[in-house]
Structure 1
Amino acid sequence: MTNNNVAHLVMLTVTLGLLAGCGSGSDNSVVLPPVDPDSSWALSQWKLTLPESKDSYFGSGGSGAAEVIPGGCSLDGSSLNEDLSNDYFWVTEDALHFRVPLNGGVSTPNSSYLRSELRELFTWSPCESNGDAASTWPVSGQHQLSAVLQIDDYVQNTRPKVVVGQIHALDVDQALVKLLWEGYDRPVRVILNQQPGKDSAFSVDLGVVNTDYWSYDITMTATGVIVTAGGVSQTLKFNGVDLSTDWLALQYYFKAGLYPQVDKNNGGVFEASFRQVVINHQ
């Protein structure tokens, strides 16, 4: 495995092709692949953050949010794999399932919101002490996150807002890209920060997605970012106007799952099924 051409896949089938319509920007429909009971999900290049404390989930470790890590590297020696099943994440032969109940819980540093979310571990070696810093990629090349998902449940007493995909820079509080779903009656929205390390958020709209499975695609190069959902694409360039060129000097990772932008004590729940998550680095 090299940094020049790495493909990390979490998907239903063992083939490398994207789903028809995924990221094409031409059609809201998604053709789902057939379920192959003999295939497996590749979870070894992700870690999972849960909306529960380490003390509560593992029995020790402190009040911070619990993380389940592959390779037996979790606090209690457990692993993120297909056998993992808890109140916030489980695996079936047709999907990865994420769930975030909004009845209290534990958020991560620099956020007041809960999450059940995968964080990419790029070229990761199991249990390395500097895992987060070593598990990032530079801007050079092309980096793509594509997913097919369905929002199965969401809060009813307020506008549902949930981030389902991100590009994040190491040691920067603000995400470069957050893909936000706000209900089936509104377009999917991309929230970006013009400059790293500053509150410089702005947003652009993508398309409205249907109530069945839908797809998104986030691609990043040294030129800029292209984001697609609901048949609409938006391109933001690192030109000092759309996005600051300061982003070019940083290291990055993808995130996918559920990160509700709703108060953790609101009540209700967010739940989603991801039929495919594909990360490709070239």
Structure 2
Amino acid sequence: MRKLIVIQMALATYALIPCKAWTQPQDIAQMQKNTPTSKEASTPPSENFDLKQWKITLPVSKNYYFGSDDQSAAEILPGENCNTSHYLGQPLDSGYQDKNYFYSSSKGAMIFKVPLIGGASTISSKYVRSELRELYNWQPCGDDSTANWSSNGSHSLSATLKVVDYYAEDPQTVVGQIHAKNSEKALLKLQWDGPSAALRAIINTDPSHGNPFSIDMGLIPGSKEWRYLITLENNTLTISVTGDEATVSKSVTFGSQGMSGDWRNHVFYFKAGNYVQADKYSGGNFEVHFSNLHISHRS
């Protein structure tokens, strides 16, 4: 029988709870749908995962990837005829794959790959990524800047994943996030810091000034599969991480526990993938495999 352990600290409550507390019953069918089987391998990720409400950012420039005069990071959108006219490939949700950055493993997992050989970042970052950005209630070819949700209701991102390859001299990558539309400060970054370091939940207390603190979410050995669940429900953020034995859970609430109430005035979106925190010219490589990815929104 697993033990229940609760450790109280100034800003947080840490709890070890049984793994079965992970999902709510109504999510199980959807999560099973988004978990590929080995017979589905060697197909584009969109054959195994529902990507209609995501876009992907790649670690190369639009100029490099599309031949357009733009040095910012390239993106692939879902939906027919929604991508730049310079792009002649498949949409994200119906066939897109690239063996250098985004494709399926032999077991059907979704692979996010980032070679650190230069490349391009987004406007507000110096780091490169192969990472999905949620497009909440997005209509095909619509304005993706409006595809966000408020902190009211219940919003969750769950994933099963493993880090397969990393740059040993600086093994840091962000695998899950909550961002606010009008803030350069992420509300949350879930960051893997290598096989011998604790996973960290990095939380910004204020949307304008940042003032981040980080929480030890437990050791995740290299190449071992693990799970996370990130939930923002009625202004309370909860992060849960499951390793081999138990789930470590942490919660903070806007307007208390050192968190600014200004977060209540923002709208948010999830991100998931491989957002590398190492120098993009280091010559290393990062590869993250997701065998499950699911988002849920309830009013």
Higher helix share: 2
1:254 maps to a residue whose letter is F
1:18-33 map, 5 Å = none
Q: Tell me the residue number matched to 1:138.
A: 150
2:145 maps to a residue whose letter is D
1:143-182 map, 5 Å = 143-156=155-168, 158-182=169-193
Moved more, 206-215 or 138-147: 206-215
Distance 1:82 1:237, change over 3 A: same
What percentage of aligned pairs have identical amino acids?
40
Kindly provide the CA deviation profile for residues 128-148 of structure 1, in whole angstroms up to 9, marking residues without a partner as x: 1x2222x10011111100000
Structure 1: unaligned runs, 5 residues or longer = 1-13, 20-31
Q: Tell me the residue number matched to 1:106.
A: 120
Q: Tell me the residue number matched to 1:70.
A: 78
Distance in 2, matches of 1:60 and 1:40, equals 31
1:120 equivalent to 2:131? Answer: no
1:131-280 map, 5 Å = 131-133=144-146, 135-156=147-168, 158-210=169-221, 211-229=223-241, 230=243, 231-280=247-296
Q: 1:207 is paired with a residue of what secondary structure?
A: strand
Q: Tell me the residue number matched to 2:50.
A: 42
1:191 maps to a residue whose letter is I
Q: Tell me the residue number matched to 2:6.
A: none
Structure 2: unaligned runs, 5 residues or longer = 1-27, 42-46
Which structure's CA Rg is the greater one?
2
1:15 equivalent to 2:29? Answer: yes
1:212 deviation in Å?
Answer: 1.7
Kindly provide the CA deviation profile for residues 174-212 of structure 1, in whole angstroms up to 9, marking residues without a partner as x: 100000001121211011110002131111111112432
1:89 maps to a residue whose letter is F
1:205 maps to a residue whose letter is D
Q: 2:198 is paired with a residue of what secondary structure?
A: coil
Kindly provide the CA deviation profile for residues 59-92 of structure 1, in whole angstroms up to 9, marking residues without a partner as x: 1141111000011311125411352222111135
TM-score under structure 2 length normalisation: 0.80
Q: 1:62 is paired with a residue of what secondary structure?
A: coil
Distance 1:274 1:17, change over 3 A: closer
Q: Tell me the residue number matched to 1:81.
A: 93
TM-score under structure 1 length normalisation: 0.84
2:144 maps to a residue whose letter is G
RMSD of the alignment, in Å?
2.1
> Which runs of 4 or more aligned residues in structure 1 lie more than 6 Å from their structure 2 counterparts after TM superposition?
none
Higher strand share: 2
